[in-house]
A = this chain, B = another copy of it.
Amino acid sequence: MKALTPGQGVTIYHVAERAGVSIATVSRVLRGNVPVSAETARRVREAIAELRYTPSRLGRGLAERQHAANGIVFPELSGPYYAEVVLGYESVVAELGRSVLILSSHGRSDAPGMVRELAGRVDGLVLCTRTVDDEVIVEIAASGVPVVLIARTPVVARAGSASRTGAMTPAGAEDPAATADPAEADPAEADPAGVADPARLIDTINAENRASARDLARHLLGHGYRRFLFLGDTTASFDFAERWMGVREVLGDVPRVPCAFDEEGGRAAADVVRAHAPDAVICGNDEIALGLAEATGGSVPITGWDDVMAARYAGLTTVRQPMRELGARAARLLDERITGARSRPRHEVLPTRLVIRSSCGPHPEEGSR
């Protein structure tokens, strides 16, 4: 028997003593998996109630070797985008009876370290965009913590010799033939070495980008525009790179000018944009578009991406993304990995939709899509 220091917390020992049983029995009625005599269970429950006992997560976690918590890492929560993704994620993770830890990597000097630390307190992790290098991801996955990637190209590094994926080059960038839907391929199956490569086993989930980009491009062409400009840093975002690539598939080469990902980025780019004198500006996301629109005062047709709340009020033509579903779906994929319900990697792509409003210019008789 242990000594029961009447200190702060009431432990399972206190309950056991109060109920006149062993801690094993208390644990049993707590977990409810092993049969316990009704009378005993009643006494235990009574003791628990009287003592206002709450089992220690730390103790339980250590014994069960699990955290009952999932994490999610995103670049920044400032924009409306990730807030929605996180909401969707929290929604299903909580429903699954687990807690959710969040981490914004934006601007933190030691992002890798923080992500590693986070990985140490969860049973599974969702990583959004380029929040950390591939090697860190592979390392975490290899350590046994399931990982799901959102809005990010699949990790390509091989275990033990992780390396960066080039400058966020989307699949098929240099080789169009390689654009086959990754969801069909099964890397794990084809592993020549027969060794499980953690990198290729990581699930990914993205919003469809290329097709919407093409739709958007065609719509703009319908307006009669011929000179375009892509505003946003395509080398820092997988999504931006794909969007840029998509519009080029229809428009041919489209010059791009990088800028910060927020409204300020769009405002600041106004001069450069004017210098290019384009017929229309395709912005990487709504915030950039909104900022630019504000700075140009509607003198040039502009489109955004994401369809954030403000886009509707600003009359911004954009592409709607299922942000909430992105997070929710990621939570589900991750859970399948945590529970071991699935071992084969999945790479999902969620549908998006072109939303035409007024910012792209007057619409004669053109219908949407």
User: Which stretch (A25-33, A110-118, A167-175, A328-336) binds chain B?
Assistant: A110-118
* Interface assignment of A52: CB less than 8 Å from any CB of chain B: yes
* Interface assignment of A369: CB less than 8 Å from any CB of chain B: no
> What mask results when residues 51 to 80 of chain A are scored 1 for a CB within 8 Å of chain B, else 0?
010111111011001010100000011101
- Nearest-neighbour CB distance to chain B for A321, whole angstroms, equals 16
- Nearest-neighbour CB distance to chain B for A174, whole angstroms, equals 34
Q: Which residues of B contact A358 (CB under 8 A)?
A: none
Given A77-B83, A101-B99, A94 and B108 contact (CB-CB distance below 8 Å): yes
Please tell me if the beta carbons of A94 and B103 are within 8 angstroms of each other in the complex.
yes
Given B84, B94, B120, B290, which contacts A56 in the complex, CB threshold below 8 Å?
Answer: B120
Interface size on A, residues (CB 8 A): 48
Residues A298-312 near B (CB distance < 8 A) = 308-310, 312
User: Which stretch (A35-43, A85-93, A147-155, A184-192) binds chain B?
Assistant: A85-93
Q: Which residues of B contact A62 (CB under 8 A)?
A: 56, 58-59, 62
* Interface assignment of A314: CB less than 8 Å from any CB of chain B: yes
A62 to B61, alpha carbons, bound, how many Å?
Answer: 9
A102 to B118, alpha carbons, bound, how many Å?
Answer: 14
* Interface assignment of A255: CB less than 8 Å from any CB of chain B: no
Please tell me if the beta carbons of A77 and B69 are within 8 angstroms of each other in the complex.
no
Please tell me if the beta carbons of B54 and A120 are within 8 angstroms of each other in the complex.
yes
A58 to B59, alpha carbons, bound, how many Å?
Answer: 8
Q: Which residues of B contact A5 (CB under 8 A)?
A: none
A69 to B69, alpha carbons, bound, how many Å?
Answer: 12
Q: Which residues of B contact A144 (CB under 8 A)?
A: 8-9
A65 to B78, alpha carbons, bound, how many Å?
Answer: 33
- Nearest-neighbour CB distance to chain B for A73, whole angstroms, equals 11
Given A52-B143, A309-B80, A100 and B99 contact (CB-CB distance below 8 Å): no
Q: Which residues of B contact A77 (CB under 8 A)?
A: 83, 86-87, 90
- Nearest-neighbour CB distance to chain B for A282, whole angstroms, equals 19
A33 to B254, alpha carbons, bound, how many Å?
Answer: 57
Please tell me if the beta carbons of A58 and B61 are within 8 angstroms of each other in the complex.
yes
Q: Which residues of B contact A8 (CB under 8 A)?
A: 144
Given A67-B58, A80-B309, A120-B57, A101 and B101 contact (CB-CB distance below 8 Å): yes
When C-beta atoms are compared, the residue in chain B nearest to A91 turns out to be B104
- Nearest-neighbour CB distance to chain B for A273, whole angstroms, equals 19
A314 to B9, alpha carbons, bound, how many Å?
Answer: 52
Please tell me if the beta carbons of B313 and A69 are within 8 angstroms of each other in the complex.
no
Q: Which residues of B contact A116 (CB under 8 A)?
A: 54
* Interface assignment of A139: CB less than 8 Å from any CB of chain B: yes
A-B contact pairs, 27 of them (CB 8 A): A8-B144, A9-B143, A52-B143, A54-B120, A54-B143, A56-B120, A57-B121, A58-B58, A58-B67, A59-B62, A62-B62, A69-B101, A77-B90, A80-B309, A83-B87, A90-B102, A90-B103, A94-B103, A94-B114, A99-B103, A99-B117, A99-B121, A100-B101, A101-B101, A101-B102, A290-B313, A308-B309
A residues apposed to B, CB below 8 Å: 8-9, 52, 54-59, 61-62, 65, 67, 69, 76-78, 80, 83-84, 86-87, 90-91, 94, 99-104, 108, 114, 116-118, 120-121, 139, 143-144, 290, 308-310, 312-314
